[in-house]
Amino acid sequence: MSSKNPRRAAFDILLRIEKEKSFADILIDHELSKDIIKGADRGLLTELVYGVLRRQGTLDYIISQFSKQRPEKLELFVRLLLRLGIYQCFFLDRVPVSAAVNETVNLAKELAPRASGFINAVLRNADRGRDTIAYPDRAERPAEYLAARYSHPAWLAQQWCEQLGLEAAEELAAAMSEPPPLTVRVNTLRITREELIQRLAGEGVSCNATSWSPDGIRLNQSGQITRLPSFRDGLFTVQDESSQLAPLFLAPGKGERVLDACAAPGGKTTQIAQLMQDSGEIYACDVNNKKLRLIKETCDRLGINSVRTFTMDATAPSNAIKETTFHRILVDAPCSGLGVIRRNPEGKWSKSGDDLLQLARTQVSILENLCRYLEPKGTILYATCSTSIQENEYVVDSFLAQHPEFVVEDLRPLFPEFAPLFTERGFFRSWPHRDGMDGFFSARLKRK
């Protein structure tokens, strides 16, 4: 493999994602860490991988308009090469169509020589016929239209239409196909937000304060931020704005004992520590022991000492905390990740609507298990990065039906400054198209 060619490297990464269900960010970081791909080609590699994954549904729809064989019937190598070529032709302005076609055909001659003529014909016909592409009727088949036009699974597009109505669902579908913002959280134990904005400006990073999170900064450029001196000095950590709000709603107090379940990689854990001024006790657990290392590394870099980590399956009792009770518990539940599919676009193609019910059962069992460790009058914050009602309102209602000793706390009177982000039931729910941050949900439950 010639990794110096960003298109070949992108193909290899996309192939591994298809075959192994690997994560795009890990594979891209691994490829770039070899330092073989240089300069602008590094950005092209990242753009190709994420672009093809984000637009995969639309790319396949376009291919189906100009190929006698449906995309799912094509050999995997051919399908991936066509996706790469169509993406460059239709969505990359800086790559001339002729170059996109020629580079893809050259790659085909290397990887799928018998199909190179077919690939050449489909790409050229698609370019010539781009104005003739007919999408499903928006009014009569709205979910199919959104799926094809904005590249999402049809079942998910249908769910959004039912939740939001067609107009807002289309705005959401469009937003979910675009690259996400890059947001960081200030380490307030070491620096203020205003001071960090000035520090970042001095390091050549254009940025501005977030609208909702008091400790968030949105960076207006990407690049390897882990190489910034301010990152190495532990002045910030990467965390989306919506994720930064959950610990605020948990509202931990100085000196309290807090359990952060499903804590890796530790963004909310360290934010809880900041809110508690690194006092009290924070127990951070995760079912994956290897992921606990990420929490420890982040704590060390940020200079946080109040966190202790341990391995725990949140659905079952643990000897590690058998005699322990907590003032507050954060349940950042494992979920479908439907609210962050613009960050992890490979995820939307490996899920189905049937997965949500199974996830909901797991989420309820986590709440059922962890509530036993909560002190009287204690608080649980249930949170997910999912847009689905099945994983959010349904889970809360299922738990409450079995636990009359708990009530939902309406977030609206508790946090009036965030009023536009709350639902009619007092839950927190953010939408990328409306709020400019990831899709997130939080519900605050109190033991009577």
Phi, psi of 184 (to 5 degrees): -125, 160
Residue 253: CB atoms within 10 Å: 13
* Residues annotated catalytic, as ranges: 385
Beta strands in 68-188 (DSSP E): 182-186
Separation in Å, CA 183 to CA 210, 243, 271? 8, 10, 14
For residues 80 and 243, give the distance between their C-alpha atoms in angstroms, rounded to a whole number: 34
Separation in Å, CA 342 to CA 15, 36, 173, 183, 236? 20, 27, 10, 14, 23
For residues 236 and 219, give the distance between their C-alpha atoms in angstroms, rounded to a whole number: 12
Give the 3-state secondary structure of residue 92.
Answer: coil
- The residues, any chain, with a CB within 8 Å of residue 269's CB and separated by 6 or more, are 260, 263, 282, 284, 295, 298, 299, 307
For residues 13 and 81, give the distance between their C-alpha atoms in angstroms, rounded to a whole number: 12
Largest CA distance in the chain: 71
Q: Specify the length of the chain in residues.
A: 448
